[in-house]
Amino acid sequence: MLPNVLQPREADHVPVLAEEVRQSLAVGPGETVIDATFGAGGHAAILAADLRGKGKLIAIDRDPTARTYFERLAERTTASARLLRGDFGVVLPQLAENGVRADAILLDLGVSSMQLDRPERGFSYAADAALDMRMDPSAELTARDVVNDAAERDLAEIFRRYGEERYARQIARAIVKRRGKQPFERTGDLVEVVKQAIPAPARFGEGHPAKRVFQALRIEVNDELGSLERALPAALEMLRPGGRLAVISFHSLEDRIVKRFLRAEEHGCTCPPEFPVCACGASPTLRATPRRAIRPSAAEISRNPRSQSARLRVAVKLG
């Protein structure tokens, strides 16, 4: 059971698979923990409590709103805690290069409830707002730029690949037609164009008709898959032997990147399969444990429907 003081406050982000993360990372006093996706600090509070006042918490988030939550947590813990603002795909490699080492690293990917629920951030198809979707408001690229500037072909590919949108081509065509007359500024305009671009029966199908397009744009604007690709090798490098890595993903492409990375590192050898004996000399660097992804229980999904697509993968660094 999670200690009472660490239960999330109402309206904050509810940490997904919290007990599973806690058990998998098995943080002990004196260790160094990195929460690379601090958010509202729900997971970090649980992991910091397991430090029992001794050790170090390094928090990372590219969204400046994480600071308020971090300060709240830092007041409650006697362990050393610091927050680094930035993209974990940049910050983790920098830390690794500077010789920082850790015993447990968590990545809880995607957006937080606070980001989704604040209409002005432009992540939500449910409220009209400026087309933004940047997790880091100082980043250059916005959803507005992508929607107004990307070639029709590229838009269709973004919607198909990141959103698994069946009507990707039709939606891309409708966007290009509309922006020829007037550029997109608001989420509401995009929702309307998406609705009109898909066949009427599909508008009443699974979930909101613009859900997949919004997800795809968010992934593109924040280069979410690129950051993950850059972060995983750095996280592994930073782990001490016996150190634990936990990654929660919410999208099949993210989970595939994590799974492939863990499989490759578990295998070690990079020789072509036709080589009769290993010539590269590379040995396994980690063990995925368990081998399959951990999924939320039915009880968690009913308490927190946003946990439904979560997949937790855990690995232990070998000595």
Ligand X SMILES: C[S@@+](CC[C@H](N)C(=O)[O-])C[C@H]1O[C@@H](n2cnc3c(N)ncnc32)[C@H](O)[C@@H]1O
Q: Going residue by residue from 206 to 245, which x/- string records binding to ligand X, judged by CB under 6 A? A: ---------------------x------------------
How many C-beta atoms surround the C-beta of residue 245 within 10 A? 28
Q: Which of 17, 20, 39, 122 binds ligand X (CB under 6 A)?
A: 39
Which range, of 57-65, 197-205, 208-216, 296-304, touches ligand X by CB under 6 A?
Answer: 57-65
CB 105 within 8 A of CB 245: yes
Q: Is 40 in the site for ligand X (CB under 6 A)?
A: yes
Q: Is 60 in the site for ligand X (CB under 6 A)?
A: yes
Q: Is 43 in the site for ligand X (CB under 6 A)?
A: yes
Residue list 83-102, contact with ligand X (CB under 6 A): 87-89
Tokens at residue 168, please? 């990707």
Q: Is 108 in the site for ligand X (CB under 6 A)?
A: yes
Coil, helix or strand at residue 108: strand
Instruction: Tell me how far apart the alpha carbons of residues 21 and 256 are, in angstroms, rounded to a whole number.
Output: 19
Q: Is 42 in the site for ligand X (CB under 6 A)?
A: yes
Q: Is 168 in the site for ligand X (CB under 6 A)?
A: no
Instruction: Tell me how far apart the alpha carbons of residues 258 and 264 are, in angstroms, rounded to a whole number.
Output: 10
- In this complex, which beta carbon is closest to ligand X, that of residue 114 or of residue 155? 114
- In this complex, which beta carbon is closest to ligand X, that of residue 111 or of residue 147? 111
Considering the complex, what minimum distance in angstroms separates the CB of residue 88 from ligand X? 4
Apex CA 98: angle with CA 82 and CA 54, to 5°? 40
Stated as kind and residue range, the H or E segment containing 96 is helix 88-97
In angstroms, what CA-CA distances link 226 with 24, 87, 112, 175?
A: 25, 11, 19, 25
String of DSSP letters for 236-297? HHHEEEEEEEEEEESSHHHHHHHHHHHHHHHH---S-TT-SS-SS-----EEESSSSPB---
Q: Is 122 in the site for ligand X (CB under 6 A)?
A: no
- In this complex, which beta carbon is closest to ligand X, that of residue 282 or of residue 301? 301
Amino acid at 16: V
Considering the complex, what minimum distance in angstroms separates the CB of residue 62 from ligand X? 4
**Cis peptide before 305, with omega less than 30 degrees from 0?**
no
- In this complex, which beta carbon is closest to ligand X, that of residue 136 or of residue 164? 136
Which range, of 71-79, 106-114, 178-186, 288-296, touches ligand X by CB under 6 A?
Answer: 106-114
Q: Is 61 in the site for ligand X (CB under 6 A)?
A: yes
Amino acid at 40: A
- In this complex, which beta carbon is closest to ligand X, that of residue 66 or of residue 239? 66
Q: Is 135 in the site for ligand X (CB under 6 A)?
A: yes
Under the rule (CB under 6 A), what is the footprint of ligand X?
A: 13, 15, 37, 39-43, 60-63, 66, 87-89, 108, 110-112, 135, 227
